[in-house]
Structure 1
């Protein structure tokens, strides 16, 4: 059940900031400019598995995947985003 909430938050986080959650995660590490951002907006998820959905160079949404390892979630989300193109 927790994975449902995490996957939804990954999609929302990616769309809020128009970047993959893995990119946001790298920018939010200690000493980085966005450190602590995960505590904003009602809680964000800042590890891989959230990707933007882009069609014809327009962001049309986001996908969030959870339930596997971070690498697996990232790969599945990227595959889903690629399938839309």
Structure 2
């Protein structure tokens, strides 16, 4: 009987601790579907203006796919690359091109692209920030040159705050 009393008390204490910590939960700034489409369409317009066929992926703050487009006749292999560029940018909150500088042989995080079911460490993935500078998601573009992919991603990422 004494054991049950202690067990009930322990469960009650645990529940109170969990409830009291709820007010200290991490705040997540997340991208809305309207913002995801705004970034996606701005990037698509840039790609069309530059006559580049790309795949464009937008992920939310949790690196979950929120919006995607495969432009007609773009490379099939670029679908996965665009998604992984967006996820990589969000996982590390950095331009994937900058991450690539750190992953070269002798770099501070050499071979990190082999983690997380594959990362992409070349340009074309960027974090997306809101007007307050908080990261709310990321965009990944693949199919053009790495310079074109970065330019297109930049236009999409900036569309949120314009």
TM bucket by the smaller chain? over 0.9
With normalisation by structure 1, the TM-score equals: 0.97
How many residue pairs match? The answer is: 85
The DSSP-based 3-state class of the residue aligned with 1:65 is: strand
Choose the corresponding residue for 2:117, options 37, 42, 48: 42
CA distance in 2, matches of 1:73, 1:57: 23
Structure with larger RCO (C-alpha < 8 A, sep 6+): 1
Q: Does 1:66 align with 2:142?
A: yes
Q: After superposition, give the CA deviation of every residue in 1:13-57 in whole Å (9 maximum; x if it has no partner).
A: 000011110111001111111110110111000000000000021
SS of the aligned residue for 1:43 comes to coil
SS at match of 1:44: coil
Tell me the C-alpha RMSD between the 2 structures: 0.6
Indicate the residue corresponding to 2:155 in structure 1.
Answer: 79
The two structures have a TM-score, normalised by structure 2, of 0.52
Runs of at least 4 residues off by over 4 Å? none
Residues in 1 aligned to 2:123 and 2:107: alpha-carbon distance in whole angstroms: 18
Report what 2:87 is aligned to: 12
